[in-house]
Amino acid sequence: MSMTEPVETMTEPWDAFDAAPSLVRTLPAAAPIVPKNSIAGRSLTVVVAIMTFLASLTTGVAMLVVSAASDWQSEVGREVTIQVRPAPGRNIDADVRAASEIARAAPGIAEVRAFTKEESARLVEPWLGAGLALDDLPIPRLIVVKLASGVRPDFTSLRQALATRVPTSTLDDHRRWIDRMRTMAGTAVIGCIAVLGLVLAVTVLSVTFATRGTMATNRPIVEVLHYVGATDGFVAGQFQRHFLLLGFRGGALGGGAAILMFGVVEAANSWLAGTAGGDQIAGLFGNLSIGVAGYLAIVLQIIFMALVTAFASRRTVNRTLETID
Amino acid sequence: MIRFENVGLRYGLGPEVLRDLNFGINGHSFQFLTGPSGAGKTSLLRLMLLSLRPTRGLISMFDHDTATLSKDGRANLRRRIGIVFQDFRLLDHMSTYENVALPLRVLGKEESDYRAEVVELLQWVGLGERMGALPPVLSGGEKQRAAIARAVIARPQLLLADEPTGNVDPNLGQRLLRLFVELNKSGTAVVIATHDIALMDEYDARRLVLHEGRLHVYD
3-state secondary structure B135-162: HHHCCHHHHHHHHHHHHHCCCCCEEEEE
In a shared domain, residues A67 and A196: yes
Answer yes or no: are the C-beta atoms of B153 and B107 closer than 8 Å. no
Judge whether A177 lies within some domain: no
Task: List pLDDT tens digits, range B52-108.
Answer: 899 999 999 998 999 999 989 999 999 999 999 988 999 999 999 999 999 999 998
User: How confident is the model at residue A26, as a pLDDT?
Assistant: 54
Judge whether A132 lies within some domain: yes
What is the residue-averaged pLDDT of chain B? Answer: 90
Kindly tell me if the per-residue pLDDT of B208 is higher than 70.
yes
Domain that holds residue A271: 39-74+184-324
Answer yes or no: are the C-beta atoms of B19 and B8 closer than 8 Å. yes
Longest CA span, chain B: 50
Q: Which residue of B has its CA nearest to A9?
A: B178
- Over residues A305-316, the mean pLDDT reads 88
Strand arrangement of the beta sheet that strand A169-172 belongs to: A109-114, A141-147, A79-84, A169-172
- Over residues A228-255, the mean pLDDT reads 91
**ipTM here:** 0.90
- Over residues A125-139, the mean pLDDT reads 70
In a shared domain, residues A215 and A289: yes
User: How confident is the model at residue A15, as a pLDDT?
Assistant: 47
Q: Is A36 left (phi over 0), alpha (psi -120 to 50) or beta?
A: alpha
In a shared domain, residues A100 and A62: no
The length of chain B in residues reads: 219
In a shared domain, residues A95 and A220: no
Cβ contact, residue pair B89, A28, below 8 Å: no
Domain endpoint, select from A110, A139, A167: A167
What CA–CA distance (Å, rounded) separates B132 from A182? Answer: 70
What CA–CA distance (Å, rounded) separates A272 from A321? Answer: 59
User: How confident is the model at residue A7, as a pLDDT?
Assistant: 38
Per-residue pLDDT band for A224 (boundaries 50, 70, 90) equals very high
What CA–CA distance (Å, rounded) separates B25 from B10? Answer: 22
In a shared domain, residues A157 and A248: no
Judge whether A162 lies within some domain: yes
Out of B51, B125, B145, the one facing A226 most closely (by C-beta) is: B51
Judge whether A79 lies within some domain: no
**Spatial CA neighbour of A312 closest among A231, A230, A214, A219:** A214
Q: Which residue of A has its CA nearest to B72?
A: A231
Cβ contact, residue pair B115, A27, below 8 Å: yes
Cβ partners under 8 Å of residue A20, min gap 6: none
Kindly tell me if the per-residue pLDDT of A255 is higher than 90.
yes
Per-residue pLDDT band for A257 (boundaries 50, 70, 90) equals very high
In a shared domain, residues A270 and A197: yes
What CA–CA distance (Å, rounded) separates A100 from A114? Answer: 7
Judge whether A236 lies within some domain: yes
In a shared domain, residues A136 and A188: no
Identify all chain B residues contacting A33, using CB atoms and an 8 Å cutoff. 102, 105
Out of A17, A35, A226, the one facing B128 most closely (by C-beta) is: A17
In this predicted structure, which of A55-69, B93-107, B188-202 has the lowest mean pLDDT? Answer: A55-69
In a shared domain, residues A295 and A210: yes
Cβ partners under 8 Å of residue B124, min gap 6: A14, B149
What CA–CA distance (Å, rounded) separates B130 from A215? Answer: 29
Q: In CATH, what is the architecture of B2-218?
A: 3-Layer(aba) Sandwich (3.40)
Out of A1, A12, A325, the one facing B51 most closely (by C-beta) is: A325
DSSP β-ladder status, B206-211 and B30-34: parallel
What do you get for the CA distance between the two ends of chain B, in Å? 17
In a shared domain, residues A255 and A288: yes
Question: In a 3-state reduction of DSSP, which class is residue B94?
Answer: coil
Judge whether A199 lies within some domain: yes
In a shared domain, residues A43 and A192: yes
Structural domain count of chain A: 2
Kindly tell me if the per-residue pLDDT of A50 is higher than 60.
yes
